[in-house]
């Protein structure tokens, strides 16, 4: 099993738009093949900081998800609203 932690910081002018997009991403992704869990978090002290925490059966499911038409389109919208490239961490569960 793999966990993905994706941390985004958005231009504050795009926070509401990105919030709504991230809700769509979660709703679209949580039932994707191989997805075990998909959660969206916001920093209460820095409201333009969003975090996705995803759990997948294996990397091939992550790759399929990332290359899906929906996520490809979402990434195009995200790239115009982020202040810096997202920080993405892949973790393999050990115990």
pTM of the model: 0.92
Within 10 A of 11 (CB to CB), how many other CB atoms are there?
A: 13
At 11 the pLDDT is: 97
**pLDDT one-digit tens code per residue, 33-92:** 999 999 999 999 999 999 999 999 999 999 999 999 999 999 999 999 999 999 999 999
At 13 the pLDDT is: 97
User: CA 44 → CA 35, 48, 71, 79, 80, distances in Å?
Assistant: 27, 9, 26, 23, 23
At 24 the pLDDT is: 97
At 94 the pLDDT is: 92
At 15 the pLDDT is: 96
């Amino acid at each position: 099993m793999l966990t993905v932690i994706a941390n985004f910081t958005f231009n504050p002018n795009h926070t509401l738009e990105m919030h709504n997009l991230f809700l769509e991403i979660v709703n679209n992704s949580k039932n994707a093949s191989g997805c075990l869990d998909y959660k969206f978090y916001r920093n209460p002290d820095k409201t333009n900081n969003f975090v996705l925490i995803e759990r997948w059966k294996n990397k091939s499911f992550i790759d399929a998800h990332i290359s899906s038409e929906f996520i490809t389109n979402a990434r195009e919208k995200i790239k115009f609203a982020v202040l810096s490239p997202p920080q993405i961490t892949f973790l393999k569960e050990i115990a």
